[in-house]
């Protein structure tokens, strides 16, 4: 066995000897099936963490917009007249009808189709028919609810749904250095253009997909294409704060075929794989505890031939469909109530073990804060102005009712 392969299997020299030699327990099945856990993840993870969404190449012109959703939150990204990319919840400030009803478009304004309120590309309320006659209605306080947007060094677009003026978690806290990885030096992201989007609906928890992506222990048994893409004997993952870097050496044949791959997973639910002819963003978009959709945005190098592009594009489509098959059947068994969990390999499954640890730490920390506060904490939720006193009373009244009806379950 080559030294690299020995290393991969945890059997190498002194370096490997220092590695943890004990198997570790995976998160239990209930974490992949429970509605309560899903709701906690919506609060603790998807309302607080930075989420990789797309690349600025998709928002090239003034007025271009894209609609996204994640874990029940729906938002719009849009390029304004100043060239900035803004983000808003897809919720009209009047009575919560969605301001866009399609997946993408190019617009001069966003006009709500319920009562006709309209908003500028910067989210400011432009017109609220009839409200000009009211004394105390402030248009400036009724713009679309903003979300935080960040464009990284390579032009990837990130969002954070934390409703505070400054999100509790700084992008750098989780992703410092993620966009300036040395291995990106051989790719020029300006040379690519958006090609297409594709989606697979899936009957599994989003974390099943993350576990699957973050190890290549299954590659030899399930992906006939992978040996053409990566030298499995040198495969390793490096975990750093909010990202997991996947490394595999490139053989001369792979390099000649344009298959020098750099893959990175970005907690919680996205990744991208870049090659000289192609890159794609993959998002595991949860819509419930046991359902999600796998969304792919594919970009191609402007200078690549159809043949070069199709080689890698086709490979990844096959690989992702094979993964879907694995995850579907795995989830069915988790749902049945027999299996609780198994033991994972500390090296070959280092990626999913790290991912699971970050999930566990993040939801438990948030839950402790909720217990201390004696109520759920929803960081993405709209905060009301002081003038909305009557609403505070209405909210308190309703949560009192919830407390009584919840006596069998969670009581605050």
Question: Is 152 a residue that touches Fe ion (CB under 5 A)?
Answer: no
From the list Fe ion, ligand FES, none, which binds 115 (C-beta under 5 to 8 Å, kind-based)? ligand FES
Q: Residue 112 corresponds to which tokens in the numbers above?
A: 């709500």
CB nearer ligand FES, residue 340 or residue 388: 388
Identify any residues that bridge with 285 across adjacent strands, giving them in sequence order. Answer: 293
From the list ligand FES, Fe ion, none, which binds 92 (C-beta under 5 to 8 Å, kind-based)? ligand FES
CB nearer ligand FES, residue 114 or residue 412: 114
3-state secondary structure string across 133-165:
HCCCCCHHHCCCCEEEEEECCCCEEEEECCCCC
H or E element that contains 68: strand 64-70
Question: Is 218 a residue that touches ligand FES (CB under 6 A)?
Answer: no
Identify any residues that bridge with 156 across adjacent strands, giving them in sequence order. Answer: 55
Q: Which span sits near ligand FES by CB under 6 A: 22-30, 107-115, 315-323, 392-400?
A: 107-115
Question: Is 215 a residue that touches Fe ion (CB under 5 A)?
Answer: no
Q: Residue 94 corresponds to which tokens in the numbers above?
A: 């009047």
Identify any residues that bridge with 362 across adjacent strands, giving them in sequence order. Answer: none
From the list Fe ion, ligand FES, none, which binds 104 (C-beta under 5 to 8 Å, kind-based)? none
Question: Is 97 a residue that touches ligand FES (CB under 6 A)?
Answer: yes
* Cα–Cα distances in angstroms (integers) from residue 316 to residues 214, 287, 343, in the given order: 15, 24, 29
Give 59's Cβ-side CA count (13 Å radius): 30
From the list Fe ion, ligand FES, none, which binds 117 (C-beta under 5 to 8 Å, kind-based)? ligand FES
Distance in Å, CB of 247 to Fe ion, minimum: 16
Question: Is 323 a residue that touches Fe ion (CB under 5 A)?
Answer: yes
Distance CA 32, CA 336 (A): 12
Binding to ligand FES (CB under 6 A) within 109-128 occurs at 112, 114-117
Question: Is 95 a residue that touches ligand FES (CB under 6 A)?
Answer: yes
CB nearer Fe ion, residue 179 or residue 323: 323
Give 173's Cβ-side CA count (13 Å radius): 7
Establish whether the linkage from the previous residue to 268 is cis, with ω within 30° of 0: yes
The number of helices, as runs of H, and strands, as runs of E, in the chain is 11, 19
Write down the residue that tokens 């190449």 correspond to. 57
As a whole number of angstroms, the longest Cα–Cα distance in the chain is 81
Question: Is 92 a residue that touches ligand FES (CB under 6 A)?
Answer: yes
From the list Fe ion, ligand FES, none, which binds 278 (C-beta under 5 to 8 Å, kind-based)? none
Which residues, 6 or more positions from 208, have their beta carbon under 8 angstroms from its beta carbon? 32, 327, 330, 331, 334
Distance in Å, CB of 180 to Fe ion, minimum: 27
Distance CA 401, CA 412 (A): 12
* Cα–Cα distances in angstroms (integers) from residue 9 to residues 4, 206, 212, 355, in the given order: 9, 27, 18, 20
Q: Which span sits near ligand FES by CB under 6 A: 89-97, 226-234, 352-360, 370-378?
A: 89-97
Distance in Å, CB of 226 to Fe ion, minimum: 8
CB nearer ligand FES, residue 97 or residue 296: 97
Distance in Å, CB of 126 to ligand FES, minimum: 12
Q: Which span sits near ligand FES by CB under 6 A: 15-23, 25-33, 93-101, 317-325?
A: 93-101
- Write each residue from 148 to 187 as x if it is in contact with ligand FES (CB under 6 A), else as -, in one continuous string: ----------------------------------------
From the list ligand FES, Fe ion, none, which binds 323 (C-beta under 5 to 8 Å, kind-based)? Fe ion
| Cβ neighbours, 10 Å, residue 345 | 17
The size of the chain, in residues, is 412
Q: Which residues bind ligand FES (CB under 6 A)?
A: 92, 94-95, 97, 112, 114-117
Interface ranges with Fe ion (CB under 5 A) = 323
């Amino acid at each position: 066995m080559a030294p690299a392969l020995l290393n991969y299997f945890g059997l190498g020299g002194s370096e490997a000897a220092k590695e943890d030699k004990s198997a570790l327990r995976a998160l239990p099945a209930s974490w992949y099936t429970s509605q309560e856990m899903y709701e906690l993840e919506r609060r603790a993870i998807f309302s607080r963490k930075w989420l990789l969404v797309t690349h600025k190449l998709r928002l090239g012109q003034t007025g271009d917009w894209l609609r996204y959703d994640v874990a029940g939150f729906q938002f719009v990204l849009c390029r304004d007249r100043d060239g900035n990319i803004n983000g808003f919840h897809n919720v009209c400030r009047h009575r919560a009808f969605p301001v866009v009803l399609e997946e993408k478009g190019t617009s001069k304004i966003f006009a709500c189709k319920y009562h006709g309120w309209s908003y500028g590309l910067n989210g400011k309320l432009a017109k609220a028919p009839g409200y000009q006659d009211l004394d105390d209605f402030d248009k400036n306080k009724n713009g679309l609810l903003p979300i935080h947007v960040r464009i990284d060094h390579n032009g990837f677009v990130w969002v954070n749904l934390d409703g505070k003026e400054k999100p509790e978690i700084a992008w750098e806290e989780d992703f410092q250095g993620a966009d300036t990885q040395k291995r990106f030096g051989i790719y020029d992201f300006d040379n690519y253009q958006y090609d297409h989007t594709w989606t697979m609906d899936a009957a599994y928890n989003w974390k099943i997909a993350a576990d699957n992506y973050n190890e290549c222990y299954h590659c030899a048994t399930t992906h006939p294409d992978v040996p053409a893409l990566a030298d499995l004997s040198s495969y390793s993952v490096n975990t750093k704060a909010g990202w997991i870097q996947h490394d595999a050496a490139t053989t001369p044949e792979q390099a000649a075929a344009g298959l020098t791959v750099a893959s990175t997973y970005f907690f919680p639910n996205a990744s991208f794989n870049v090659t000289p002819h192609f890159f794609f963003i993959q998002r595991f978009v949860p819509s419930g505890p046991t359902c999600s959709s796998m969304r792919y945005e594919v970009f191609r190098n402007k200078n690549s031939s159809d043949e070069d592009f199709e080689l890698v594009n086709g490979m990844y489509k096959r690989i992702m469909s094979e993964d879907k098959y694995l995850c579907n059947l795995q989830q069915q068994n988790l749902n049945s109530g027999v299996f609780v969990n198994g033991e994972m390999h500390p090296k070959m499954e280092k990626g999913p073990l790290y991912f699971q640890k970050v999930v566990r730490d993040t939801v438990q920390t948030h839950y402790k804060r909720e217990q201390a506060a004696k109520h759920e904490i929803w960081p993405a939720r709209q905060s009301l102005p002081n003038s909305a006193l009557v609403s505070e009373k209405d909210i308190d009244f309703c949560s009192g009712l919830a407390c009584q009806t919840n006596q069998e379950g969670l009581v605050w």
